[in-house]
Chain A
Amino acid sequence: MRRKFDKDRLIGFLLVLPSIVAVAIFIYGFIGWSAKVSLSQWKGLMPNYTWAKPLLSNYLELFQDPRFQVDVRNTALFTVLFVAGALLLGLFLAILLDQDLKGESIFRTVFLFPMAISYIVTGVVWRWLMNPAQGTRMSGFNLLFDKLGLDFLVNNWYTTPGWGIAFIAIPAIWQMSGYVMALYLSGLRSIPQELREAARVDGANEWQIYRHIILPLVQPITFSAMIILGHISLKVFDLIIAVAGKQLQLDVPAVYMWQTTFDGGFYSRGAAISILLLISVAVLVIPYLRYSLKTEESL
């Protein structure tokens, strides 16, 4: 009996082994490889792993690089607007749908459908909706605003000097807020009805119930959603490419990395950007993973 058990355990290990090896190589090995490239002198098509002098020079150059500074600012601005926008809209929609209204499932289906389509599709459509042309060539939302007499809303969208990236947050919120709604909704649904009833009996109004009972209870969801949205926004790439191509104004680290590496051949610089990107994501995600796995164990 005991022997058989051990044999099974060995087979189990062998079943997972290919995946472990794949993850070890393609994730951790490749990250190490990228890190090595980021410390090298590799420019051009032929790999060149000669150490950079000084070793960190690719990183040091990035910190001096005006384009990278624009990227960091763009990412920060985009992250704040996108995360805050998607969280607030998602929570708002979840609370609305939590009121047992008729037609709830239709609303829910529509709010969540953008999650099923690619950022490329979203980007291609929104680039026409946010077409910055004005005057006689006006189209998209500008045209709509003009027709509705809301001229003051006509604007340059993603071509607004210095603030273009803020407008990319709109399609991103459109795409992801339904997901946040779904997260909150599952949280709201798991709060026992008696809790609300008890508060109502005690004379609390709906606003107070949400403010003092429900919102504190869904705090962990806010935390999860922030981490998930935050790491998505650090990685934002497809959406920007599809809306605006490779415009310097809307540059972010993920786009810079892609362009400088595969168009420009500056492999060592591209690798340095990618490692910085990875570190920023890891700082966000690793504590979250630890927290999630710990709460899972205590259940």
Chain B
Amino acid sequence: MKRSRTRLLLYIPLVAMFIFYLVPLYVMLTTGFKSFEEIDLQTMWSLPQNGLHFDNFIEAFTKLAPYFKNSILMVVPAALISSVLGSLNGYVLSKWKFKGADVIFPLILFGMFIPYQSILIPLVQFMKEINLYGGVSGLILAHVIYGIPITTLTFRNYYATIPKELLEAARIDGADIMGIFFKIMLPISLPSFVVVLIWQFTSAWNDFIFAVVLTGSQSWPVTVALNNMAGSQIISWNVQMAGSFLAALPTLLIYIFLGNYFLRGLMAGALKG
């Protein structure tokens, strides 16, 4: 009896924290759904009074639409290419270790942690040199290359759990390295592909530093556009709130529907598990 009452008390901090985490979402949504007449900083905490309006979302979307397009054009190829590279690297570095592979792996891994400022000046110079500065392709290239460490890590950890015997058997049957990859490894690693694709999609979508330095205003992804919108004096806060929600929506939906894969990606990033 006493035990169940103390257990009930545990809900007090849980619910309090639940509210704390949802506050930004609450403000984004309630503000977004108010009509323009209702928008007032004084009533920012109240619910929409005259039904749901979509004016703010429509205005935010009209303003952000071209940048959404840029984000999608950038994120999809970046996620796909870096996942393919990661799976090949992970496969070889776990199952076909060559001399020095164990030295190379940590060197690749370190790239995951570096502050990107430390490669930013050369990166800009390099992109100018190869004429990719300012556009979406340069940004894709950056995300692919700097995504190699995390994608390699995730796949290597996964492939390491696959028993050697499976490969030996396939080899005796005459399969070569690519045959084993396509017939055995690829089919069983589809869940890992989902994990890595989600991870790369999310981090490229949410990236700011590469985008702000490498792209011109025509090619801005939505994060840079949103930040500029927030810095401008002309665009009112209600549209900013609606815009923030829209910019968060794609990754939020992925999180809601594919949460377990998202979580596995997070855990891989911590090097454990």
Cα-based distance from A120 to B93 in the complex (angstroms): 36
Contact with A along B92-124 (1 / 0, CB 8 A): 110010100000111111110111111111111
A137 touches B21 (CB 8 A): no
The tally of residues in A whose CB lies under 8 Å from a CB in B reads 103
The tally of residues in B whose CB lies under 8 Å from a CB in A reads 92
Contact with B along A175-208 (1 / 0, CB 8 A): 0001100110010000000000000000000000
Which of B50-58, B184-192, B247-255 contacts the other chain?
B247-255
Q: Looking at the complex, which one of B17, B107, B205, B237 makes contact with A93 (CB distance below 8 Å)? A: B17
Q: Which residues of B contact A241 (CB under 8 A)?
A: 208, 227
Q: How far is the CB of A268 from chain B (nearest CB, A)?
A: 9
A12 touches B96 (CB 8 A): yes
Q: Is B152 an interface residue (CB 8 A)?
A: yes
Given A121-B248, A137-B41, A144-B45, A274 contacting B120 (CB threshold 8 A): yes
B93 touches A224 (CB 8 A): no
A118 touches B121 (CB 8 A): no
Cα-based distance from A53 to B213 in the complex (angstroms): 29
Given A34-B121, A116-B251, A129-B24, A274 contacting B115 (CB threshold 8 A): yes
Q: Give chain B interface residues in 232-273, CB to chain A under 8 Å.
A: 237, 240-241, 243-244, 247-248, 251-252, 254-256, 259, 262-263, 266-267, 269-273
Contact with B along A23-39 (1 / 0, CB 8 A): 10011111101100100
Pair count A-B, CB < 8 A? 270
Given A26-B145, A286-B110, A275 contacting B17 (CB threshold 8 A): no
Q: How far is the CB of A133 from chain B (nearest CB, A)?
A: 8
Given A13-B92, A118-B206, A120-B223, A258 contacting B117 (CB threshold 8 A): yes
B209 touches A237 (CB 8 A): yes
Cα-based distance from A76 to B149 in the complex (angstroms): 28
A-B contact pairs, 25 of them (CB 8 A): A4-B176, A12-B92, A12-B96, A16-B92, A19-B108, A20-B104, A26-B119, A28-B107, A31-B114, A31-B118, A31-B119, A37-B121, A107-B17, A109-B256, A110-B21, A111-B21, A112-B255, A113-B25, A116-B202, A128-B240, A183-B267, A235-B116, A261-B121, A274-B120, A289-B109
List 9 A-B pairs, minimum CB-CB distance, nearest first.
Answer: A118-B206, A12-B96, A116-B255, A139-B41, A30-B119, A33-B122, A30-B122, A274-B117, A278-B118
Known contacts A8-B176, A182-B267, A257-B120; 10 additional CB pairs below 8 A are: A34-B119, A111-B17, A112-B263, A117-B252, A118-B251, A119-B208, A125-B24, A129-B27, A289-B113, A293-B106
